[in-house]
Structure 1
Amino acid sequence: MTEPIEITLLTQHACGMCEHAKQVLDRVAEDYPLRVSEVDLASDKGQRLAAAARVVFAPGVLIDGKPFSYGRLSERKLRKTLAHRA
C-alpha cells in the first residue's frame, strides 16, 4: 500500500476526544500511509462535511471522504478497517 489514505478529522476547540483521536492517528500513521487533514467542525466546510457524513459530534473521522466514526476513535477498529484495504 503506497497511496496515502486520506483521513479527514473533524474537530472542535477544547475537545479531549479530539486530542485522543490525533494521538491514535499519529500511532496508526507509523504503520499506514495516512494523509490527515483537520477541519474545524464550526467552519462552513466542517458543517458541510459533518452533515453529509452524519457526524453528530466531534471528533468525526472520514476515510477517503467516507464516514468512518464520530466520538471516541477506536484504534482497533481503525486498524482493522485499514488492514482490509491492503
Structure 2
Amino acid sequence: MTDRFDITLLTQDDCAFCTVAREVLDRVGREFPLQVKEIPLATDEGRALATTAGVLFAPGVLIDGEAFSYGRLSERKLRRALEKRRMDA
C-alpha cells in the first residue's frame, strides 16, 4: 500500500473547472492520502508540465507525475484510479 499519492493540479485564473477540481481533491483527500501541489499553467513550470503530460487546458491533473486528466475532473474516475493504484502497490 502506498504512503501517499502526489497530485499535481495545473490551474489558471478564473477557471470554474479548477474550483471544482480543488473541491473534488479535498473530498477525495479525506479517504486517500493526497499531497496536492498546485501549479499555474501560466508559469514556465506549468507550461512544461502541460506539454509533457499532454494537458490541453486547465485543470490538468497528474498522479505521481503521470497524466490523469484535464478539463472537468471526475471524482468517480479519480477514486477508481487511486483505489487501483493502492491495490497494485
Per the normalisation by structure 1, the TM-score is: 0.97
| Distance across 1 between alignment mates of 2:54 and 2:69 | 9
TM superposition outliers: structure 1 runs of 4+ over 2 Å:
none
| Distance across 2 between alignment mates of 1:20 and 1:39 | 16
1:8 aligned counterpart, secondary structure: strand
| Distance across 1 between alignment mates of 2:2 and 2:76 | 21
How many aligned positions are there?
Answer: 86
1:49-60 equivalences in 2 (<5 Å): 49-60=49-60
* Residue number in structure 1 paired with 2:35: 35
| Structure 2 spans left out of the alignment, 5+ residues | none
Residue range with higher mean Cα deviation, 11-20 or 1-10: 1-10
Shift in Å, 1:85: 1.3
CA RMSD of aligned residues (A): 0.7
1:1-86 equivalences in 2 (<5 Å): 1=1, 3-86=3-86
| Structure 1 spans left out of the alignment, 5+ residues | none
Per the normalisation by structure 2, the TM-score is: 0.94
